[in-house]
A and B are shown apart, each in its own frame.
Chain A
Amino acid sequence: MDNKMIELKRQYSEIPVPEGLDIIVEEAYRKHIHKKMLRIRWISATAAIVTLFISALNISPSFANASSKWPVIGPLAKVLTIREYKVNESSYKAHIQVPAISDLGDKSLENQLNDKYSVESKRLYTEFMVEVEDLKKNGGGEAGVESGYVVKTDTDRLLCVGRYVVNTVGSSSTTFKYDTVDKENHVLITLSSLFKDEQYIEIISNNIKEQMIARMKQNKNLFFWVSGNGQQESDMNFKSIEKDQNFYINHDNKLVISFDKYAVAPGSMGIIEFVIPTEVLADIQGDQEYLK
């Protein structure tokens, strides 16, 4: 058996490795840095067939009101698609919908959010075009991105918009970003603003760990990178949420903590959310008491 195993190992070590793996790695690293630097390059118009729709919504609120297919939000505020970036080639596809909030009752907050949406969508589109250009230079490939938004919550008091980005080629990855707005007081709610002090970080983290272990016990196919439940201790395991962890408040006025792919579990589990019971937060909630 041992000799056989040594023989197998020899064969394993002789699996021929193709040339150019380091080029793959360096290329990936270059792209990674490139994305991080958010460098904007102008793309020649011939690089892709691009259609840019700037709808009448931008300039005509009455048209927006009349158009029933747009989701109408709350008594006043609305979330509309004001712009779309589309690339539609056989192996390069992008569809980016840019949301805008209107009639929020506070122009500066509205502009702050809408500017952010517009800038980030533009950046996503530019990055995509850079990637496409790179691929074309290197003999082709596939690329795809889809981005849009969902209205997670819309109550008399709260509006929560979640924006997503999905890479549609290769293993699909999805990231979500949320903005939660208090429509009555016209403020953007941050996670820390929900609580009196920073105890929330530890309280929420502990609750999430308990939920992870409970979910794993309930369903043997689930994995979270967390200590306990007989799992290997590891520094990779989930320790704590970030101070400004991604979150939203759902229709039942409960706090929902959201993690992107790979943050707390294997990628196959995708985006992961935890609803934090308001009881565990009761003692530390701030004056506004958004959570019920």
Chain B
Amino acid sequence: MFASPSSKEVLQCILQHKDNAYRLAYTYVRNPDDARDIFQEATHKALAASKSLKDVSHVKSWFYRIVINTALDFLRKRKNSVPYDEVTLETYGLSTHDAYRDFDLEHAINLLPPLYRSVVVLRYFEDMKIEEIAHVLNENVNTIKTRLYEALRKLRLFMNDENLKGGWQWITR
């Protein structure tokens, strides 16, 4: 068992997208150390699983999927004092109270449970197509569209509410 040709492709892909993969991880865990750990773990997993990558043209979405799954695993473990199942975790979001900065993105992200967060990040920040996002998240296109719509609805409430300007602390309370 020598390094498969695909592991080179995987390496290339990780190097090329490392910054954004890190940022993607960051949107889940919201602190630099954890994001770095997740990036590292996802890199190991991707290399170890590179044999299972059948088509190198999907390497980016495949790697992003590993990053997201690693981040979700991490969040799940951190929560393991309370036995959350995946659905609860992804529907209600997380209540990690890290130090908040006066930072729109952070608040916007906090507002969205991970399930919705992924679609917004991939769609608007990573400029991925709906089909690609479906591939990353292992969902069908319609589910992604529904989630995106829901996410935007939640965000719109947050963005348009004048009362909240400069006073984010009371939504995150």
Contact = CB atoms under 8 A, between A and B. Distances in A.
B52 A28 contact: no
Interface in A271-289: none
Interface in B124-158: 124-125, 131, 134-135, 138-142, 152, 155-156
Assign chain A's interface to a size class. 35 or more
A49 interface: no
Contacts of B110: none
Nearest to A38: B1
A243 B142 CA distance: 36
A32 interface: yes
B119 interface: no
Contacts of A28: 40, 43-44, 47
Given A11-B105, A267-B69, A267-B73, A24 B58 contact: no
B159 A1 contact: yes
Interface in B30-71: 32, 36, 39-41, 43-45, 47-49, 52-55, 57-58, 62, 65-66, 69-70
Contact of A171 (B3, B7, B27, B45): B45
Given A24-B43, A170-B41, A267-B45, A29 B11 contact: yes
Contacts of B40: 24, 28
A37 to B, nearest CB: 7
Contacts of B22: 15, 17-18, 21
A267 B65 CA distance: 10
A25 B103 contact: no
A244 interface: no
A21 B42 CA distance: 12
Contacts of A178: none
Given A21-B18, A22-B15, A232 B104 contact: no
Interface string A156-197: 000000000000001101000000000000000000000000
Nearest to A261: B49
Interface core residue of B41, B55, B105, B155 (most chain A CB under 10 Å): B105
B138 A13 contact: no
A234 interface: yes
A37 B4 CA distance: 11
Contact of B103 (A11, A173, A234, A235): A11
B14 A25 contact: yes
Interface stretch (A66-74, A132-140, A145-153, A223-231): A223-231
A242 B85 CA distance: 33
A36 B3 contact: yes
Interface string B4-28: 0001000100110011001100110
A32 B48 CA distance: 7
Contacts of B65: 266
Interface string B80-91: 000001110000
Contact of B156 (A1, A9, A24, A235): A1
Contact of A8 (B7, B54, B124): B124
A221 interface: yes
Contacts of B32: 16, 18
A172 to B, nearest CB: 10
A239 B36 CA distance: 34
A235 B54 CA distance: 6
Candidate in B41, B52, B103, B104 with the most chain A CB atoms within 10 angstroms: B52
28 contacts: A1-B160, A4-B155, A9-B125, A12-B125, A13-B125, A16-B32, A24-B36, A24-B43, A25-B14, A28-B40, A32-B47, A33-B3, A36-B2, A38-B1, A170-B41, A170-B44, A171-B45, A221-B85, A221-B86, A221-B87, A223-B138, A230-B140, A232-B135, A235-B55, A236-B53, A262-B52, A266-B69, A268-B73
